[in-house]
Structure 1
């Protein structure tokens, strides 16, 4: 598993941030019928239980938006991906169909409210550090073209930025031939709900992409710990 660290600037602006990191060997596919039955069922449940004006009240989404404001970014112009997914569903649009790995990550994000980075670990050069985007920093958001990441939280490897809560970068994106997954769940609201999101993620990874050699880490106040999922 890649080492993930957090810069002092992020720690100062986002004191409640806790990050869960999952690494796994996987077998991806174009689509999975059972997964999409699960996604469709939850989409219907979500539409029945939420209104669009309630989306920003979910603790993980609210905290991510506050992190954007603390770093100088307008969350109404650059929405966190979890918020964008929720709003899409409530506008009557289905989730995107990309590939099984990406689709299941989107389901976790929709259910939990967390913005989640999903990367092909083999494409990451060196380890990762979470910092703040700079002016004119080149970043190609997946399906978005060049994205202005100034003021956004951004994970960088030895080459460049690869992930923000708004969009991941094209260079390290998950594709059909991805066999090593790195998944980062960004808990700007703290630990509440984070372990449950990890447990749900691992369940989906085992059921739909035959995940093996699964490792989980928790980063809290800049320190890294093994994530004990059965620990009270």
Structure 2
């Protein structure tokens, strides 16, 4: 099952440099993150905490680039933060990132490493083709944060059943659990990077994901 994804023309017109990576995984096994990798991630997060003692979250390249994208799409980034900014802010406050399961933990790690939002979804709960678009008043869902989210005017991924994801917060409908066997990962790349750098980032994410979860994977970059 190969999903297709397209970027809506309105989004492209307002933000011509936007490009995303899409990775599909099949026959994976989601569980706890291996202890050794958990330890490595912990050291990395501590390094970020130290670095953030000297600088502000909005000084981080990927954060400021994604705030600019939000502004170009008329989304207020101080009110609705790109998800990687929320992670950096948490670390700046000295708060640890909770371990959820191997797929979500890996997402958080790469989100912080490359300073970009990432979404991971249960492919078996996605219906039909996907569009990266701006939400209408009908686009709302229960977020993985437990809140009812109105996605009107926000950047969303939508399938035939409506909005299911966003670089702000994702929905419960398509969230990955320990029962997930097929997954879709959306990598919201920095607009400033070229296709060859994008490819390197996506293959690194994909290889580490399959190293931990097994299974098969395919990727695509969508401009």
Q: Same fold (TM over 0.5)?
A: yes
How far has the Cα of 1:79 moved from its partner? 0.7
Aligned residues of 2:142 and 2:149 also touching (Cα < 8 A): yes
Q: What does residue 73 of structure 1 align with?
A: 75
Aligned residues of 1:52 and 1:90 also touching (Cα < 8 A): no
How far has the Cα of 1:136 moved from its partner? 5.3
> CA 1:104/1:12 → structure 2, altered by over 3 Å: closer, same or farther?
same
> 1:165 & 1:33 partners in 2: Cα distance?
28
Once the two structures are superposed, residues 152-192 of structure 1 have per-residue CA deviations (whole angstroms, 9 ceiling, x without a partner) of 11010000101111111110000001111110101252434
| 2:218 corresponds to 1:215 | yes
| 2:59 corresponds to 1:57 | yes
> 2:19 & 2:153 partners in 1: Cα distance?
19
Instruction: Write out aligned runs for 1:173-212 (5 A).
Output: 173-192=175-194, 193-210=197-214, 212=215
- Determine helix, strand or coil for the equivalent of 2:6: strand
> 2:181 & 2:190 partners in 1: Cα distance?
28
- Determine helix, strand or coil for the equivalent of 1:177: coil
How far has the Cα of 1:128 moved from its partner? 0.2
> Which 5+ residue runs of structure 2 have no aligned equivalent?
none
Q: CA RMSD in A?
A: 1.7
Q: What does residue 24 of structure 2 align with?
A: 23
For 2:168, which of 139, 148, 166 is the aligned residue?
A: 166
| 2:110 corresponds to 1:85 | no
> 1:184 & 1:190 partners in 2: Cα distance?
18
Q: What does residue 45 of structure 1 align with?
A: 47
> 1:9 & 1:61 partners in 2: Cα distance?
23
How far has the Cα of 1:10 moved from its partner? 0.5
Tell me the TM-score normalized by structure 1.
Answer: 0.88
Q: What does residue 3 of structure 1 align with?
A: 4
> Which 5+ residue runs of structure 1 have no aligned equivalent?
221-232
Aligned residues of 2:210 and 2:216 also touching (Cα < 8 A): no
> 2:174 & 2:161 partners in 1: Cα distance?
11
Aligned residues of 2:140 and 2:152 also touching (Cα < 8 A): no
Tell me the TM-score normalized by structure 2.
Answer: 0.91
Once the two structures are superposed, residues 43-101 of structure 1 have per-residue CA deviations (whole angstroms, 9 ceiling, x without a partner) of 11212223475322333322221222222221111111100011111211111211111
Equivalenced residues, count: 219
> 1:76 & 1:136 partners in 2: Cα distance?
23
Q: What does residue 130 of structure 2 align with?
A: 128
How far has the Cα of 1:126 moved from its partner? 0.4
